[in-house]
Chain A
């Protein structure tokens, strides 16, 4: 039975860097979470996810925070700190968009495996920024997983014409696999956000 009411959300604001992403922004404090989901020795296909966040006037946003959660290359979520120390796979990233010259976020990881059933490989994403009074949830799928995406039960909930906003595109001509995933808050390319 519910007896307490949820504490309301407030915006992360513009000045989160030294608190949430200190190392990325060169502050003298250890980062608890970094833009790297998986170390080099982690098992799996190493990839990078790169993208920009756009406002309703298609301006690139330089003070967003992106957090990502994913399963490892076998489709398993990490559950303990010991496990992440041994495998180098943390399953979680946090990155601000303010340090890259093009205001991109860049996250290094391994491609997630399917978590079972009809679930296509995916990364869950939390989007926070100044101007957002509460965070938004979205999800990244991969454009080279056409068959799995067609069976995915979450993508199936999304109107067909908007599914493309959730699919990261492999960039051509790069030796290591780079997937592009831009986030549009509004406009014709508005990214699908979930209520979960």
Chain B
């Protein structure tokens, strides 16, 4: 039986890009054209999917080592860390954070990526971890390179890392991208620019000297806010 307890906060449509953003060409034929049908009252407290710490490998959070074959990956080592919170500022604990990215040369190992930049035999570009009791995640990786794409003439994606999270509820699913501060390509990128202007800075990580590890890796912080429950669950 569904239990009629929690209702999630709504999707904040003012924070998210629209389905169709004409500057991002592939959105034109891939966006629903009819209004969505509201289903808020059916959200409830479904917690999916289920997973545990023992589903993860020891090096899943360390992209500089988790695919190393005969050496270290090339590029600038970085630490990417932050907290996953709900809109009330509560930490989202033990939640899965999955990331994937291009290598330092701007090349993905995905077979469809034909960009003429080298693959790195020691870098896959995928990682995942669970948040801790404060909602904190932490990855060690290589700063991804920019790469060209076919959206428009001389189009280049800014450096970015893809993030996928579920949060605690079916309705808190979030797939997003983290960008880097000061990237001149951000002003020209229709995917980033598809986001409402006032919300764009939430997608940009901040450089942190405190997170930076001396002599080893620069640190970037990126906090993520998911939809949360509007009311505190009542214990049965």
Binding site for B on A (CB under 8 A): 1-20, 22, 25, 27-30, 32-33, 55-57, 59, 61, 63, 67, 69, 75, 77-81, 83-84, 90-92, 98, 115-117, 119, 124, 126, 128-137, 154, 157-158, 162, 185-186, 190-196
What residues on A are CB-neighbors of B113 within 8 Å? 14-15
A92 touches B50 (CB 8 A): yes
Given contacts A10-B195, A69-B170, A5 and B27 within 8 Å (CB-CB): no
Q: Which of A80, A81, A129 sits near B55, CB closer than 8 Å?
A: A81
B93 to chain A, nearest CB (A): 15
Complex: A28 Cα to B196 Cα, angstroms: 38
A133 touches B191 (CB 8 A): yes
**Interface residue? B57 (CB, 8 A):** yes
Residues 133-160 of B, flagged 1 when their CB comes within 8 A of A and 0 if not, give: 0000000000000000000000000000
A10 touches B31 (CB 8 A): no
Q: Which residues of chain B (166-203) have a CB below 8 Å from chain A?
A: 170-171, 173-177, 191-192, 194-196, 199-200, 202-203
**Interface residue? B236 (CB, 8 A):** no
B50 touches A81 (CB 8 A): yes
Q: Which of B2, B28, B124 sits near A116, CB closer than 8 Å?
A: B2
Question: Can you show 22 pairs from A to B with CB atoms below 8 A apart?
Answer: A3-B87, A5-B202, A6-B225, A7-B203, A8-B196, A10-B192, A17-B111, A18-B100, A19-B125, A25-B110, A32-B56, A55-B30, A63-B112, A69-B170, A77-B48, A131-B24, A132-B27, A132-B31, A135-B175, A157-B37, A185-B31, A185-B32
B17 touches A115 (CB 8 A): no
Complex: A18 Cα to B33 Cα, angstroms: 31
A196 touches B40 (CB 8 A): yes
Chain B minimum-CB-distance residue to A158: B37
B49 touches A69 (CB 8 A): yes
Query: How many A-B contacts at CB < 8 Å in the complex?
Result: 249
A4 touches B37 (CB 8 A): no
Binding site for A on B (CB under 8 A): 1-2, 9-12, 15-19, 21, 24, 26-34, 36-40, 42-43, 46-52, 54-57, 66-67, 85-89, 96, 98-100, 102, 108-113, 124-126, 128, 162, 164, 170-171, 173-177, 191-192, 194-196, 199-200, 202-203, 223-227
Chain B minimum-CB-distance residue to A16: B100
B38 touches A194 (CB 8 A): yes
What residues on A are CB-neighbors of B124 within 8 Å? 18, 27-29
Complex: A117 Cα to B1 Cα, angstroms: 8
What residues on B are CB-neighbors of A57 within 8 Å? 29
What residues on A are CB-neighbors of B30 within 8 Å? 55-56, 61, 129-132, 185
B163 to chain A, nearest CB (A): 9
A9 touches B176 (CB 8 A): yes
Complex: A192 Cα to B34 Cα, angstroms: 8
Complex: A190 Cα to B32 Cα, angstroms: 7
Complex: A77 Cα to B226 Cα, angstroms: 22
A128 touches B174 (CB 8 A): no
Complex: A59 Cα to B92 Cα, angstroms: 39
B19 touches A136 (CB 8 A): yes
A79 touches B176 (CB 8 A): no
B175 to chain A, nearest CB (A): 5
B17 touches A10 (CB 8 A): yes
Complex: A134 Cα to B54 Cα, angstroms: 30
Q: Which of A19, A126, A154 sits near B173, CB closer than 8 Å?
A: A126
Q: Which of A7, A55, A115 sits near B174, CB closer than 8 Å?
A: A7
